[in-house]
Amino acid sequence: MAAYALEWLNLLVRWLHVITGIAWIGASFYFVWLDNHLEAPSKASDIERDVSGELWAVHGGGFYHAEKFRARPPAIPDRLHWFKWEAYWTWLSGFALLIIVYYVGADIHLIDRSVADISRSAAIAIGLSCIAIGWVVYDVLCKSLLARNNNALSLVLFALLCGTAWGLTQVFGGRGAYIHFGAMLGTIMVANVAMVIMPSQRAMVRAAEQGKVPDPRYGIAGKQRSVHNTYFTLPVLFVMMSSHYAFTFGHRYNWALLIALSLAGALIRVWFVDRHKGKQSALTLIAAAALILLVFWTGIPTTQIATKTTASDYTRVQAIIAQRCAVCHAASPVQPGIAAAPKGVIFESEAQIRSQAILIAQQSAITRVMPPGNLTQMTEDERALIARWAASAQAR
């Protein structure tokens, strides 16, 4: 009953996370697009009102006219819309999911004893520390003299992210490492909103209400963090999806794939932002495509699987699956914390096992992500036997 309730909680919180995430990303992408499409005001009266840019748009059966003021509007309206709760609720729901899936289920989804034999409490402490320290280091760098040179800051941040990706995969199983990398970036993004962007906007509103010209440093700081957030978005989205693709987090060089795909996502976003500004250079898009092709190339398994098997191999494979896999992949799982067979995949009959032969081999022998954290202690000989049997079954 507890496992079933946890599954429902997982579903409802994940649904909330997706809904609020769409709202946050949609608003963020729209304002980046809007800012990069503003045109100089066409009327002298608008220039006198200190309008720095305007944009006309048509959508949903109506016309819209947006204006951006250089410093402050003539008056602050009674109702001023702020964009913050989308970000806050995305992080709150995401952190709740981290607890539900990866901390409550640490032995299944976070810890891999073949990577590092650590306790549940140590794993959780390391994960939380990584998320918190990531924000502190990032914030210090953004406030340092290094931030005066965007290229230098970007290189240092990239180097630190590479080191973090590698370090996490030396402590956690691939899936846990990936999600903590994404959680760290997501925390940086929402902390940018809460700690820098919102305080800067409040200061600008206070100055405008007092009839003063806002201090330009607030706008500069808010703009810098907003730009960083837009480039972090696609890497975070990749991490959110990666748990469905074991060939990424289960790869021998999973940390390198994480870096390459995250960088590709950031470059794709750079290309879109440049396109907003009217720049037609495809260099960033080409670089992103090259990174993705490199990922595909390095992701091809190099292990050659022998296809010669004996008549008794299936009987042995069936026994292995019953002992190592069917504790979860059953109509009524017996593994604590598992309420239903993952993805509805069940290994209780010969037909079910044979129909999933290639998938079983991929998950247990190629990516080696199953059993999760090797909870049921599948041996190397057992993995090799499954691989031979699956290749033989495919050949027939």
Which parts of the chain fold into alpha helices (H)? Answer: 2-37, 44-48, 85-97, 120-142, 150-169, 174-191, 198-209, 216-242, 246-249, 254-276, 283-299, 313-324, 350-355, 357-361, 380-395
Residue with the bigger pLDDT between 161 and 360: it is: 161
Closest CA to 183 of 200, 199, 157, 165: 165
User: Is residue 320's pLDDT more than 50?
Assistant: yes
Per-residue confidence at 259, pLDDT binned at 50, 70, 90?
very high
d(Cα 15, Cα 8) in Å, to the nearest integer? Answer: 11
| pLDDT on residue 325 | 85
- What's residue 312's pLDDT? 67
Rounded Cα–Cα distance for residues 287 and 281 (Å): 11
Distance CA 252, CA 254 (A): 6
Q: Distance from first CA to last CA of the chain, Å, rounded?
A: 43
User: Token pair for residue 328?
Assistant: 């979860």
Can you give the pTM of this predicted structure?
A: 0.83
- pLDDT value at position 42? 83
The string of pLDDT tens digits covering residues 386-395 is 888 877 765 4
pLDDT of residue 128: 97
Per-residue pLDDT, averaged over 186-202, amounts to 94
Mean pLDDT for 95-106 is 93
Q: What pLDDT digit, counting tens, does each position of 172-191 carry?
A: 989 999 999 999 999 999 99
Structure confidence by residue, pLDDT tens digits, 67-99: 888 877 888 888 888 899 999 999 999 999 999
Give the least confident one: 56-60, 79-83, 218-222: 218-222
| Phi/psi at 337 (5° precision) | 90, -10
pLDDT of amino acid 304: 43
**What integer is the mean pLDDT of 233-261?**
89
